[in-house]
Amino acid sequence: MTHPENDDTDTAYRIIETTAIDQVTHVRLYEETWSHIAAQHPEFSNRLPSLEHAVIDTIRNPTEVYRSRTDTVSGYVFRSSNNLKANRAMAVPIRVVGEGTSARVTTAMFRGEVKGELLYEGTDEQG
């Protein structure tokens, strides 16, 4: 995680660019969110760098993006069938912050199915 220049807070985060949907162009993954993910989802508890890379890859190169069913205005779920655990795809819910196209990761998990309006369908590199 990095501390961006001109940031007077102690919050570390990584900025991840994405082009999958017009509504979101970059997503912040905060250290505090990563800590939440590790605490709330046992499959992330060891905080392996490969899991962080899978979250980043899911945002950069999703195979699907859905509108969130719980936050239809600013919530989206990025999903990647290229990042699997026990045949469950990585799902990364994000929320747009403010009026622009900046968002933040809210959590991450491995899920079998995501419900909601499908906004984007990319390619599955493994199939």
What is the average pLDDT score of the chain?
87
Residue 10 is predicted with a pLDDT of: 57
**Paired tokens of 11:** 């919050």
Residue 47 is predicted with a pLDDT of: 66
| Number of alpha carbons in the 13 Å side-chain half-sphere of residue 78 | 32
Residue 4 is predicted with a pLDDT of: 46
Residue 7 is predicted with a pLDDT of: 45
Residue 20 is predicted with a pLDDT of: 96
Give the residue ranges of DSSP H helices in the chain.
31-40, 49-60
* Model confidence, pTM: 0.86
Residue 123 is predicted with a pLDDT of: 72
Collect the ranges in the chain with pLDDT lower than 50. Answer: 1-9, 127
Choosing among 3.30.2310.20, 3.50.50.60, 3.30.360.10, 2.160.10.10, the CATH entry for 13-121 is: 3.30.2310.20
- Residue 23, Cβ density class (10 Å: 0-12 exposed, 13-18 middle, ≥19 buried): middle
